[in-house]
Amino acid sequence: MSVAHLGPGYDFPSANRAEGYGGDINFYIQWEQHLLIACPSAYRAPPDMIFGDFLEQLFRPDYAVHPDCAQLDFGQCEWRYDQQPWQPDLGKSLRDNGVAHMGFVQFRSPGLDGLHGVGN
């Protein structure tokens, strides 16, 4: 399907295309079964940033409110990227791990299953 329109050609570039980020990328991450944090989080970061550094320097402080966060070992997590199984190398950059603009990273932390037995 496409948009019903008058006149020729109804096509516009995405408002959020990669060129708007001056070389950085905009991507998203979600810690599954930890619904105390209501939504996946959005980040802007340079693609050369080491994935492990991103997780420790940006992600972990944002999620420090959750009591599971202190014990969180990213090396033990089960990862997905754009909803497909994924095995990132924490020592490599976002780019080398395949994290692209508008990418969606999700992980589970076996043994740390959220609060109250219901993934809070």
Partner 1 sequence: MAKKKLGLKERYAALTRGLDWETTYEPMDEVFPYDRYEGIKIVDWDAWADPFRLTMDAYWKYQSEKERKLYAILDAFQQNNGQLNISDARYLSAVKIWLQGITPLEYVAHRGFAHAGRAFRGAGARVACQMQSIDELRHAQTQLHAFSHYNKYFNGMHNFAHMRDRAWYLSIPKSFFEDAYSAGPFEFVTSISFAFEYVLTNLLFMPFVSGAAYNGDMATTTFGFSAQSDESRHMTLGLEVVKFMLEQHEDNVPIVQAWLDKWFWRGYRLLGLVGTMMDYMLPKKVMCWKEAWEIYWEENGIALFHDLGRYGIRLPKHHEVAGKEKHRLTHEMWTTLYQFGNALGLHTWIPNDEELDWFSEKYGELFDTMYKPRLLYLRELEEKGERYFNNRLPMVCQVCQIPVFFTEPDDPQTQCVRIVEHSGTKHHCCSDGCKDIFEREPEKYVQALIPPQQVYRGEAGGATNIFEYAAWLHLERDVDTGEYRGSPDHQHWLEWQRRHKAASPDEAA
| 26 is an interface residue for partner 1 by CB under 8 A | yes
**Min separation Cβ 31 and partner 1, Å:** 10
Among residues 8, 13, 110, 111, the one that binds partner 1 under rule CB under 8 A:
13
Rounded CA-CA distance 90/75 in Å is: 8
Among residues 46, 50, 68, 82, the one that binds partner 1 under rule CB under 8 A:
82
Written in H, E and C, the secondary structure of the chain is CCCCCCCCCCCCCCCCCHHHHCCCEEEEEEECCCCCCCCCEEEEECCCCEHHHHHHHHHHHHCCCCCCHHHCCHHHCEEEECCEEECCCCCCECCCCCCCCCCEEEEECCCCCCCCCCCC
Among residues 36, 53, 74, 96, the one that binds partner 1 under rule CB under 8 A:
36
Among residues 57, 71, 76, 120, the one that binds partner 1 under rule CB under 8 A:
120
| 56 is an interface residue for partner 1 by CB under 8 A | no
Interface ranges with partner 1 (CB under 8 A): 1-6, 10-18, 20-21, 26, 28, 30, 32-33, 35-44, 62, 65, 82-83, 101-104, 114-120
